[in-house]
Amino acid sequence: MEPTGQNSPLGNHTALVEFILLGFSNVPKLQGFLFGIFLIIYIMILMGNSLIIIITKVDTSLQTPMYFFIGNFSFLEICYVSVTLPRLLADLCRQNRKLSFLACAVQMYFFLIFGATECFILTAMAYDRYVAICNPLLYPVIMNSRRCIKLAAVCWITGIPVHIGFTYQIFTLPFCERNQMDHFFCDVPPVVQLACGDTFMIEMLIYVIAALVVTIPFLLILGSYVKIISTILKLPSATGRAKAFSTCSSHLMVVTLFFGSGIVVYLRPKSTHSSGMDKYFSLFYTILIPVFNPIIYCLRNKDVMAALGKFLQK
């Protein structure tokens, strides 16, 4: 394929450029095994998160702001993982791993949208815990159903316009002969690595977007938890402190896992980037965390376990 029209807009690139996702082709003997593992993981994610959505809707004891956001988060996890895992499963079954320029752009766009929404939902959940523990008397007034719906809507909508422009900027970069991507989906770092010419401006834009979508929410969550922990430590009874910590620990675990792996991939210096390492870090925050989500929120939560028991009995 001739690398003509390198500086043409997105529409012209679509007909001229395709990518090849190498994925896990470096271990051909394990393709069947990996397909089985990832299929089981995908089913677990769909079933586990769907179950959380159902029980938070049908059980009246779970119809509180905290579980409203957990339900949103579980639905988001299903959307988030469905952007990447079905394609990975398909690639493990076939030799042809080509992905059109447009399909790659669409996959990246939805991955970025759901990733940004996850950051914002986790921030909203931290705010909910902050109000519940630091202002318990005002909690029912502040976190009323209308405000919860507005917060969730803002979380879902905010990233859409930002990532339309961001994705467009990435895919208007000039691409040359190299089209093999050592990754299992169209993530930002491996796509930018395939661009030829000066990518300095887009790399700076990546840092700006990552700061807005990842760093600022993370700092807001961190600030919330500093206040939360300070308030919990002032509680007079050990039982009260233990109960307050238990309501926050699950969310704190998810935040640590998600933001930790995301920051490593998107905010570390370019000189330390390795496509192979990025691929495995991406596995962590795109696949493993959605698996952990139902486990963390169910097994560590007596209310959810009780509601689940009642639901299964019915």
**E strand residue ranges, the chain:** 18-21, 98-100, 180-181
- Cα separation, 101 vs 88, in Å, equals 17
Q: Scan for tokens 């809507």, then name that residue.
A: 153
Q: Which residue has the higher pLDDT, 104 or 310?
A: 104
Domain architecture of the chain: domains with CATH = 15-313 (1.20.1070.10)
Burial-class residue 281 by CB neighbours within 10 Å (0-12, 13-18, 19+). Answer: buried
Tokens read off for 111: 């991955």
Q: By C-alpha distance, which of 249, 159, 261, 180 is closest to 218?
A: 261
**Average pLDDT, rounded, for the chain:** 84
**pLDDT tens digits along 131-171:** 999 999 999 999 999 999 999 999 999 989 989 999 999 99
pLDDT band at 14 (very low <50, low <70, confident <90, very high): very low
pLDDT band at 13 (very low <50, low <70, confident <90, very high): very low
**pLDDT tens digits along 58-103:** 888 888 999 999 999 999 999 999 999 999 999 998 877 888 989 9
Specify the DSSP class assigned to residue 296. Answer: H
